[in-house]
Structure formats: structure tokens, C-alpha cells
């Protein structure tokens, strides 16, 4: 099963992708997570990406396309994948098609579009807290951890991402509207897109996704 999770930042793509990938034994490729690790590790990719990420802008296409092409070729992705936060531009979507066919791999089978209004995005991101150790995501009001500042899943320390602060969130939303939203009609025209009403709670969103994935995948 090869899936793309598409939608604005804070739409709940990562929360759902982590659980679904684990349950179905497929790999979860989050370009945001891979880039944040590269920045932390100070790799050449991280050094290229850091200024764009700090500003809430998109990292250049060639950087993220290389990351995803390498990840898809890894053996643990052979049984399927969820791409979370990629593609984010039309050139990335075309490069994904070209890359999978060059590697002789099956391409995108389904795109789940997490549709969430801007005011919900802003309130979700401003209260979001991430686990430093396992990447799990919480919300101080809507999905609080059992103990403040501590990850329920692994006991790791929770923190607020720098780019979840209000002015960076506005830039991320602007980048989404300009560069990423055109992918909705790109994939709808190919007959691959399914709409997910993303502004419900995580349990309801999950049931909605399971109904969609039950359609023969």
C-alpha cells in the first residue's frame, strides 16, 4: 500500500501516519522529521535546509526529492509506504512518479487529503508538543500527555517546535496555499484523491481513514 498524506501543517497527517504505518507494517517517511534530524546532526543536507525551515519556507525541491528517493529504495519500504509532508510542490509530485518508475517500484496508489481550516491549523500548531525521542505528537489542550512534558509512548521529553510559533505558522500556511494546494487538483484529476475531514478528533479521523482504506487496499 503506497499512500500520500496531503494537507496543511497541523492537519494531523503525522499523528495518523505513525499509527497506521506501524499497524500495517509499512514505512512512514516524513520529510519534516528527516530534515529536522539532518539539522540536529549538522549534515550537509541539514545545513542547506535550516534557514528555509526556520523561516517556515519550503526547502528546495532537489534536496527533498533526493531524501525521498533514497528512503523509498530502502528494503524496509518494500512492503509499502506513507509519505507524510511530501510531495509539497508539483515538481516534487512529478519527480516522485519519475523516481518510482526509474527504480521499478509501484507508484502512489492513494492520496488522503486532510482538509482543515486555517483557524484550526493555528490553534493545533500553537498547542502542539513533540517528543524529542520518538517524534510522537501531543496537544496541551486536545491531546495532553498523562504527565506534563513527558511522552506517553516512550517517556521522552516533549518540546515545542520553533516553527510552531505564530509568525512562522503564518509563513507555512502561505507556502501551503501557494505551492502545495495545487496538488489537490493534480491528484484529484488522476482519480487518486480521497477527502478526509481532518478537523475532527484523532479517533474519528482514524475511523474515517479506515473506511477509505477498507476499499480494497
> Given the DSSP bridges, would you call strands 110-115 and 81-84 parallel, antiparallel or unpaired?
unpaired
> Annotated catalytic, 36?
no
CB 188 within 8 A of CB 179: no
Q: With binding defined as CB under 6 A, does residue 193 bind ligand AMP? A: no
Task: Compute the least distance from the CB of residue 211 to ligand AMP, in Å.
Answer: 25
- Measured from the CB atom, the residue of 52 and 188 that comes closer to ligand AMP is 52
Q: With binding defined as CB under 6 A, does residue 31 bind ligand AMP? A: yes
Q: With binding defined as CB under 6 A, does residue 85 bind ligand AMP? A: yes
Q: Per-residue contact track with ligand AMP, 132 to 171, x per CB under 6 A?
A: -------------------------------x--------
Catalytic-labelled residue, pool 36, 124, 128, 129: 128
Q: With binding defined as CB under 6 A, does residue 172 bind ligand AMP? A: yes
> Annotated catalytic, 165?
no
Catalytic-labelled residue, pool 161, 188, 194, 206: 161
- Measured from the CB atom, the residue of 28 and 88 that comes closer to ligand AMP is 88
CB 158 within 8 A of CB 149: yes
- Measured from the CB atom, the residue of 27 and 53 that comes closer to ligand AMP is 53
∠ CA 54-93-118, nearest 5°, is 50
Calpha distance 114→5 (Å, rounded): 7
Q: With binding defined as CB under 6 A, does residue 32 bind ligand AMP? A: yes
- Measured from the CB atom, the residue of 52 and 186 that comes closer to ligand AMP is 52
Residues 6+ apart with CB under 8 A from 173: 8, 9, 118, 121, 122
Q: With binding defined as CB under 6 A, does residue 35 bind ligand AMP? A: yes
Q: With binding defined as CB under 6 A, does residue 16 bind ligand AMP? A: no
> Annotated catalytic, 177?
no
> Annotated catalytic, 128?
yes
**Among residues 128, 121, 130, 96, which one has the least CA distance to residue 111?**
96
Rounded to the nearest angstrom, the gap between the alpha carbon of residue 44 and the centroid of all alpha carbons in its chain is 22
> Facing residues of 28 across strands?
82
Residues 6+ apart with CB under 8 A from 52: 58, 59, 60
Q: How far, in Å, are 49, 53, 128, 161 from residue 10 at the CA level? A: 20, 15, 8, 12
Interacting residues with ligand AMP (CB under 6 A) = 9, 31-32, 35, 52-53, 56-59, 64, 85-86, 88, 92, 163, 172
Annotated catalytic residues are: 13, 88, 128, 161, 172
Amino acid at each position: 500500500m503506497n499512500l500520500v498524506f496531503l494537507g496543511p501543517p497541523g492537519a494531523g497527517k503525522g499523528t495518523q501516519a505513525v499509527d497506521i504505518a506501524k499497524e500495517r507494517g509499512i514505512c512512514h517517511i516524513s520529510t519534516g522529521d528527516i530534515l529536522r534530524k539532518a539539522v540536529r546532526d549538522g549534515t550537509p543536507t541539514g545545513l542547506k535546509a535550516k534557514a528555509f525551515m526556520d523561516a517556515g519556507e519550503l526547502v528546495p525541491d532537489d534536496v527533498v526529492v533526493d531524501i525521498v528517493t533514497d528512503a523509498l529504495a530502502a528494503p524496509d519500504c518494500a512492503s509499502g509506504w506513507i509519505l507524510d509532508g511530501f510531495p509539497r510542490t508539483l515538481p516534487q509530485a512529478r519527480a516522485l512518479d519519475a523516481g518510482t518508475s526509474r527504480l521499478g517500484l509501484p507508484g502512489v496508489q492513494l492520496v488522503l487529503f486532510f482538509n482543515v481550516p486555517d483557524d484550526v491549523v493555528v490553534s493545533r500548531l500553537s498547542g502542539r508538543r513533540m517528543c524529542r525521542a520518538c517524534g510522537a505528537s501531543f496537544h496541551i489542550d486536545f491531546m495532553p500527555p498523562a504527565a506534563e512534558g513527558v511522552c506517553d509512548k516512550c517517556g521522552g521529553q516533549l518540546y515545542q517546535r520553533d516553527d510552531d510559533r505564530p509568525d512562522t505558522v503564518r509563513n507555512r500556511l502561505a507556502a501551503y496555499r501557494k505551492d502545495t494546494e495545487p496538488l489537490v487538483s493534480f491528484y484529484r484529476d488522476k482519480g487518486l484523491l480521497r477527502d478526509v475531514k481532518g478537523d475532527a478528533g484523532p479517533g474519528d479521523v482514524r475511523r474515517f481513514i479506515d473506511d477509505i482504506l477498507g476499499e480494497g487496499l
